[in-house]
Structure 1
Amino acid sequence: MDSIIKLLIEFEGIIGAILGSVATLITTELLKSRGKIRLYLRDFIGVYQTYRDVGAGRSGKTDDDFYGYKMKYSFEVYNGTDLSRIMRGFRVVFYNGDKAVFSETPKNEETRRYSQHFSSIDEMEILNIYPREIQVLKHSLYISEEDLDKIEDSTKIVMTYYNEKDKQKSLILSDEKVTKKDYKPK
Structure 2
Amino acid sequence: MTLIRSISGIRGTLGGAPGQGLTPPDVVLYTAAFGTFLLRQADPGAARRVVLGRDARPSGPLVRDLVRGTLVGMGFEVVDLDLATTPTVELAVTGEKALGGIILTASHNPVNWNALKLLNGRGEFISARDGAEVLRIAEEGDLDFAPVEALGHVREQGGWTRRHIDAILGLPDLVDVPAIQERRLRVVVD
Select the structure with the greater relative contact order (CA < 8 A; seq sep ≥ 6). Answer: 2
TM-score band by shorter chain is: under 0.3
Decide which structure has the larger Cα Rg and report it: 1
TM-score using structure 1 length: 0.26
TM-score using structure 2 length: 0.26
Instruction: Write 1 or 2 for the structure with the bigger share of strand.
Output: 1
